[in-house]
Amino acid sequence: MKCYYDLHMHSCLSPCGSDDMSPNNLVNMAKLAGYDIIALTDHNSSLNCPAAVKVGENAGITVVPGMELCTSEEVHIVCLFSTVEAALNFSGYVEEKMMKISYSRDIFGNQLIMDENDNIIGTVDHLLNVASDISANKAVKIVSEFGGVCFPAHIDRPSFSIISNLGMITEDMGFCNAELTALADREEYILKYPILENMRLLTDSDSHYLENIPDAARYIQLEECSAECLVNYLRQPPKL
């Protein structure tokens, strides 16, 4: 079936995400915008995924639990999981692999954990969008050990991307997918980085604010619109 997707979205847990990106606001706005499946990928944490997944179940839109991992090279990698439990296990692992830097909420913004009714049930007191000590070329192996799948985020951006920070994507990194922003010229990127020819190229919004969520425009074909089907689909290289 056709599933309109956006696999990279932030909530009020990301310091750079708006406090208005509560689980209910985010999920219902995505539903209104026409998505069938979205992923919640806050920086280095999945702690708002339990609430967002529950809201999605009630609203009739699939929410995939995930995270945007910041590697030791400050490369952003979208990590997605079939279950909340797997995402939280990975989140706990990443928590141990991050520097704990205290920060000013006035400068960086809040990092709010909410329940499925948008009540604040906690905060994270160390800055989440910092490097972990997980390297980009170990990401696929580690994330798959936790039952997930991952791909480099916004590879056409001039910062925090695998190409800006490492200069390339190599086969031994093991990625089957890569994310380009909506602004990228796909053909130009494929010509410049031929490895992309053999990869599935996804485009997500990386929304941090409700008003950033664009109308659904891209779909993938899944057997069913579930987190499990999506993760299995993304694990397989594209059929060329």
Contacting residues toward Zn ion, per CB under 5 A = 68, 76, 153, 206
CB of 25 to Zn ion, least distance (A): 17
CB of 162 to Zn ion, least distance (A): 11
Q: Which is nearer to Zn ion, 89 or 164 (CB)?
A: 164
Q: Which is nearer to Zn ion, 139 or 153 (CB)?
A: 153
In Å, how far are 91, 113, 119, 194, 239 from 67, measured between CA atoms?
8, 14, 21, 27, 26
Distance CA 128, CA 95 (A): 9
State in Å, rounded, how far the first CA of the chain is from the last one.
Answer: 19
CB of 76 to Zn ion, least distance (A): 4
CB of 117 to Zn ion, least distance (A): 25
Chain residue whose CB lies nearest Zn ion? 76
Distance CA 94, CA 132 (A): 7
In which residue are the tokens 């109308």 written? Answer: 215
CB of 193 to Zn ion, least distance (A): 19
Q: Which is nearer to Zn ion, 39 or 229 (CB)?
A: 39
Q: Which is nearer to Zn ion, 112 or 229 (CB)?
A: 112
Distance CA 174, CA 219 (A): 24
Q: Which is nearer to Zn ion, 14 or 229 (CB)?
A: 14
CB-count burial class (<10 Å; 0-12, 13-18, 19+) for 119: exposed
